[in-house]
Amino acid sequence: MSTKWSDPKWIREELNKKWESGRILRSIFEQDDLFPLQISLKKPLRNEVNENFAEISRWIKLLKDHCKEKIGFGYELIEKEMVLRQAGRNQMPTHAIIPTVQDALRLIKKEYEANRFVELSRVIQSSWPNLDEWIGKYPHKVLDVGNEWSGILAVLTWFYDHPRCGLYMRQLDIPGIDTKFIEQRKGIITELLNIILPEDVIEKNVPSFEQRYGLRVKPVTVRLRMLDQEQYIFGLSDMIIPVEQLALLNPPVSRVFITENEINGLCFPDVRSSMVIFGLGYGVDVLKAVPWLKEKEIYYWGDIDTHGFSMLDQVRSFLPQTRSMLMDERILLNHHHLWSVEEKPFFGQLTRLTADEYKLLCLLQGNSWGRGVRLEQERVSFQQVRDVIEIIIPR
């Protein structure tokens, strides 16, 4: 039989498309006029009729054998009279009519899912009637959450009753709900909180769930080492400090070194009246919150590659006095045997580099010494580090 013509399987597939789109569930929820649903059938063209009479007869029989009149549910047929040269007047199916939503659900075997949707929708509505529009818009999300709705509704109620509580998520006392439950379902919970909560308790344009709804966030920390034994803090040289506390510290140092690499920070040579901050990478922006850094000499040591210069430019955006160290062409060429490849170079515009730094950046971006040449900071010889520090801070 021609696959161009609509058979019972094709009718079910058309109904399944409406199911997958949520249209059938939306019809159940909103009790709209989707049903009776009329579907136009792909049928033989007029010039095919006389040439394929036997095949068309089998096609019509197949449709009728699976219609509601024969099996008790499903589709009904609308027919149009056609005059056939071989057989005179005949009725040609042109449309399938699915009379009720129950017929559709039984035909595509989705009765259980639809009943479950109705049950869950009532549960949600009983707690939050203002989620009606969301239910109608995203009926499959209602089904996907399934048995977890009782937990999610408990979370919504807690946040509504305790706006911007200032607690860590671990401290939320919601019966039967642990931190992982919320962590793993932040997407759906965010959608719903945005609907049920008053606008004035939602902080917009923030990066995290916790900040958005007034939970306490894990503090951003900064690792540093004091490089002058006389300036150790209570005998400590190596510390990890929340940035808010670092902002209040203001140690009596004259200069601050900033380096990306953790090992570089750990083995940085002793330097009088100095400290080193390390391991932040592109997260170096957190140092904007430390006002006393603006009063210090700042030296930045990063990789000699396009991203290294991008981070140097980033630091200068809030600490304009920053000078680079060990990031020049002489260091790069002296360590050519230790070069590696920068797979995804940075090609944006940088406006805070010195003339020499910008020239070197352009040479790197232009592959003047080969594709993606880079010198990672940890590959620079330690003697070079000592020599440069001797130049910066003569004894």
Q: Count how many domains the chain has.
A: 3
Confidence bin at 27 (pLDDT 50/70/90): very high
Let me know whether 97 and 116 are in one domain.
no
Counts of helices then strands in the chain (DSSP H, E): 19, 11
208 token code pair: 């995290």
Residue 298 inside a domain? The answer is yes
Q: pLDDT at position 373, please?
A: 95
Let me know whether 78 and 123 are in one domain.
no
Amino acid at 176: G
Let me know whether 272 and 308 are in one domain.
yes
Let me know whether 283 and 302 are in one domain.
yes
Q: pLDDT at position 88, please?
A: 60
Let me know whether 236 and 379 are in one domain.
yes
Residue 2 inside a domain? The answer is no
> Among the three residues 84, 109, 134, which one is the final residue of a domain in this structure?
109
Query: For 353-378, how does the pLDDT look when each residue is reduced to its tens digit (9 = 90+)?
Result: 999 999 999 999 999 999 999 999 99
Let me know whether 234 and 374 are in one domain.
yes
Query: For 178-222, how does the pLDDT look when each residue is reduced to its tens digit (9 = 90+)?
Result: 999 999 999 999 999 999 999 999 999 888 999 999 999 888 899
Confidence bin at 47 (pLDDT 50/70/90): low
Q: pLDDT at position 207, please?
A: 86
Query: For 238-293, how does the pLDDT look when each residue is reduced to its tens digit (9 = 90+)?
Result: 999 999 999 999 999 999 999 998 999 999 999 999 999 998 888 899 999 999 99
Nearest to 367 by CA among 338, 391, 339, 388: 339
Separation of alpha carbons 387 and 394, rounded Å: 10
Query: For 72-83, how does the pLDDT look when each residue is reduced to its tens digit (9 = 90+)?
Result: 999 999 998 876
Q: Where in the sequence is the domain holding 254, given as residue range(s)?
A: 221-392
Q: pLDDT at position 50, please?
A: 63
Q: Model pTM?
A: 0.69
51 token code pair: 């040439």
Q: Report whether 217 contacts 194 (CB < 8 A).
A: no
Residue 1 inside a domain? The answer is no
Q: pLDDT at position 393, please?
A: 79
Let me know whether 69 and 195 are in one domain.
no
Let me know whether 194 and 265 are in one domain.
no
Let me know whether 196 and 315 are in one domain.
no
Helix, strand, or coil here: 128? Answer: coil
